[in-house]
C-alpha cells in the first residue's frame, strides 16, 4: 500500500514538475531546489503545504520536496553527499549535526544569518542556537524543538483524588509530589492481587532516563569529549531512582520491550514522559481525557530531553541557488507556527508568544521547558553512544545488573570507542 501510494505521489510530483517547466518558459530561468527530509507522517503533509505556498509566492524558485523515513533518509543523504549530489536544502536532527558537519558537506550559516537579509538570532533561545554549533560555527537553522513532557490521564487523576482546590487534576511538579501521585494511581482494579493500573510507565528508556540524569546534574562526557562520565555518581543515583520506581516503590510496571505507550492510551497508566510528536496520536482518541505538563523535577534541577529539526544547506551552494535556498529557509522559519500546528514547537520566541501558539494547550505546556531543554550529547559516534546508553539503562531497569555495574561497563566501552576515534583523527589530521 505504502509503496503504491509513494509511487503515485512520485508520479504526480514528476507530472507537476513537467507542467511547471512547461508553462514557465516565458520568464527568467527558474532556480530548482531539491529539499529532502524524513517527514513521512502527518508532519509531511503539513510541510508539503508550506512548500506549495512558498512556490506560489516565489515564482522564480521551484522547491521539490522529497521525503523518506529517517533511517533510509540519513543513509541516502549521506551517500548523496559523498557523491557530491546532496540536495540543496535538507533537514538534520540535532544529534546528527556533528557527524554530518565532520563529513564536510553541510554549509555553515553564520554569514547568512548576520547578512542584511538574515535572521534575528536573539529570537532563538540560546541553548537551541548552541545545539547546531560545532566548534563555534553553526551548521543549520533550527526550525522546531520537541522537548519531552509529561502526559497525564485526567480521569485517573480525578479518581485518585489528585486535584487542586477547584477539583481540577493537578500534575505533580516535585519528586515528592510525583511519587505520591504515582502511588495513588497504582491500583489493583480487578482484585487479583496484582496492580493493573500504574502510576507511571517507561515508554522510552533513552529519553526518560536521560532526563532524570540531567535533573541530577549528570554529564555524559568531559567537556572536551575525551572521556565518558556516564558512570558518575549523579548518573548512577539518577538511574537508581528510575530502577526504584519499578522495584522499590512499585509504581511502574517492569519494562516492556515495546508499546508501553499503548497502556497509557488504554487508560491503564496515570503518567508518561513522551515527546510532543505523540500528541497527534492522543488527539485522535476521543475517549482519553488527557493533558500535558512539564516533566516533574525528580532531581535537584529542572531538565528535559529534547531534539530539533534543523534546516541545512549543501556546502558548495553559490549565487542565485544560495540566495533562493536561504529565502526558502527563512520562509519556513517565519512560518513555523503553521508547522507547529502539526505538533512541533517553533524555536522562534516571537512566534511562541502569539495567542495562536498559546492556545495550543499541550504545546504551550511543553514549551515552558525550553529554557532547560537538554539535547543528547553531540559527537561523531552518536549511534554507538546510544547503543551503549540504552543497553546499560535496559539492563538496570530489568534488574540484570545494578545501575553502577551497567554504567561501568558502558563507560569502559565508550572510552574504547573514544580512543579508536582519536586514533583515527590523528591518522586523518583534522581538516577544518
Partner 1 sequence: MTERRFLYRLSGYLFVLPYLMLFVTFLVVPVIYGLGLSFFRWEMLSPAPPKFIGADNYREALGDAYFRQALGATFRFAVTAVPLTIGLALLLALGLHALPDRHQSFFRAAFFLPTIITISVAGLLWRWFYNSEFGLFNAYLSKIGIKVPWLTQPGWAMFSIALMTLWWTAGGPMVVFLAGLKNIPAQYYEAAAIDGANAWNRFTYITLPLLKPVLLFVIVMNIIGAFQVFGQTYIITGGGPELSTRVLVQYIYETAFNNYRMGYAAAMSWLLFLLIAVFSFAQFRLMRER
| Contacting positions for partner 1 (CB under 8 A) | 75, 78, 82, 99, 102-104, 253-260, 262-263, 266, 380-381, 383-384, 387, 391, 394-395, 398, 400, 424-425, 427-431
Angle, CA 59 vertex, CA 57 and CA 65 arms, to 5°: 80
| CA nearest neighbour of 273 among 213, 216, 205, 215 | 205
Nearer to partner 1, 28 or 71 (CB): 71
For 345, residues 6+ apart whose C-beta sits below 8 A from its C-beta are 144, 145, 146, 147, 276, 352, 363, 366, 367, 370
Q: Which three cell numbers stand for residue 381?
A: 559516534
Return phi, psi of residue 422, to 5°. -65, -45
The distance from CA 210 to its chain's CA centroid, rounded to whole angstroms, is 13
Rounded least distance, CB 129 to partner 1, Å: 24
Nearer to partner 1, 166 or 430 (CB): 430
CA dist., res. 189 & res. 345, Å (int): 37
Cα of first residue to Cα of last residue in the chain, in angstroms, is 46
Rounded least distance, CB 338 to partner 1, Å: 32
Nearer to partner 1, 41 or 255 (CB): 255
Sign of dihedral through CA atoms 93, 372, 47, 88? negative
Nearer to partner 1, 127 or 405 (CB): 405
Rounded least distance, CB 382 to partner 1, Å: 9
Nearer to partner 1, 74 or 221 (CB): 74
Rounded least distance, CB 225 to partner 1, Å: 15
CA dist., res. 197 & res. 102, Å (int): 47
Nearer to partner 1, 35 or 100 (CB): 100
Rounded least distance, CB 99 to partner 1, Å: 5
Rounded least distance, CB 207 to partner 1, Å: 16
Rounded least distance, CB 404 to partner 1, Å: 17
Give the CA distances from residue 252 to residues 87, 272, 285, 403, in Å, rounded to whole numbers and listed in that order.
45, 10, 23, 17
Nearer to partner 1, 23 or 71 (CB): 71
The distance from CA 421 to its chain's CA centroid, rounded to whole angstroms, is 26
Amino acid at each position: 500500500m505504502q509503496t503504491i501510494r509513494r509511487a503515485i505521489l512520485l508520479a504526480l510530483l514528476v507530472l507537476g514538475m513537467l507542467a511547471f517547466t512547461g508553462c514557465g518558459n516565458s520568464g527568467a530561468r527558474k532556480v530548482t531546489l531539491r529539499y529532502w527530509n524524513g517527514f513521512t507522517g502527518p508532519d509531511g503533509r503539513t510541510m508539503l503545504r508550506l512548500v506549495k505556498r512558498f512556490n506560489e509566492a516565489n515564482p522564480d524558485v521551484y522547491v521539490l520536496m522529497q521525503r523518506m523515513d529517517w533511517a533510509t533518509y540519513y543513509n541516502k543523504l549521506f551517500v548523496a553527499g559523498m557523491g557530491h549530489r546532496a540536495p540543496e536544502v535538507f533537514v538534520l536532527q540535532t544529534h546528527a549535526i556533528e557527524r554530518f558537519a565532520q563529513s564536510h558537506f553541510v554549509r555553515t550559516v553564520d554569514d547568512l544569518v548576520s547578512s542584511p537579509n538574515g535572521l534575528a538570532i536573539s529570537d532563538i533561545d540560546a541553548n537551541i542556537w548552541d545545539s547546531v554549533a560545532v566548534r563555534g560555527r553553526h551548521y543549520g537553522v533550527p526550525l522546531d524543538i520537541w522537548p519531552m513532557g509529561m502526559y497525564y490521564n485526567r480521569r485517573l487523576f480525578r479518581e485518585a483524588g489528585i486535584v487542586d482546590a477547584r477539583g481540577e487534576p493537578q500534575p505533580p511538579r516535585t519528586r515528592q509530589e510525583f511519587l505520591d501521585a504515582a502511588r495513588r494511581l497504582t491500583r489493583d482494579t480487578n482484585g487479583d492481587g496484582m496492580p493493573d493500573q500504574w502510576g507511571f510507565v517507561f515508554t522510552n528508556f533513552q529519553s526518560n532516563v536521560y532526563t532524570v540524569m540531567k535533573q541530577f546534574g549528570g554529564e555524559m562526557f568531559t567537556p572536551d569529549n575525551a572521556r565518558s562520565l556516564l558512570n558518575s555518581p549523579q548518573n548512577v543515583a539518577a538511574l537508581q531512582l528510575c530502577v526504584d520506581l519499578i522495584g522499590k516503590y512499585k509504581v511502574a510496571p517492569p519494562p516492556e520491550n515495546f508499546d508501553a505507550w499503548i497502556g497509557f492510551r488504554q487508560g491503564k497508566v496515570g503518567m508518561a514522559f513522551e515527546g510532543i510528536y505523540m500528541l497527534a496520536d492522543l488527539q485522535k482518541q476521543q475517549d482519553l481525557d488527557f493533558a500535558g505538563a512539564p516533566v516533574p523535577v525528580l532531581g535537584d534541577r529542572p531538565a528535559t530531553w529534547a531534539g530539533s529539526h534543523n534546516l541545512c544547506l549543501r556546502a558548495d551552494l553559490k549565487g542565485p541557488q544560495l540566495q533562493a535556498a536561504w529565502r526558502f529557509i527563512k520562509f519556513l522559519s517565519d512560518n513555523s507556527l503553521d508547522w507547529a500546528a502539526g505538533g512541533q514547537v517553533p524555536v522562534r520566541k516571537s512566534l511562541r508568544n502569539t495567542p495562536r501558539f498559546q492556545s495550543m494547550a499541550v504545546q504551550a505546556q511543553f514549551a515552558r521547558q525550553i529554557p532547560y531543554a537538554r539535547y543528547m550529547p553531540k559527537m561523531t559516534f552518536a549511534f554507538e553512544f546510544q547503543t551503549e546508553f540504552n543497553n546499560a539503562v535496559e539492563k538496570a531497569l530489568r534488574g540484570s545488573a545494578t545501575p553502577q555495574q551497567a554504567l561501568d561497563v558502558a563507560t569502559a566501552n565508550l572510552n574504547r570507542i573514544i580512543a579508536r576515534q582519536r586514533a583515527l583523527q590523528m591518522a586523518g589530521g583534522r581538516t577544518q
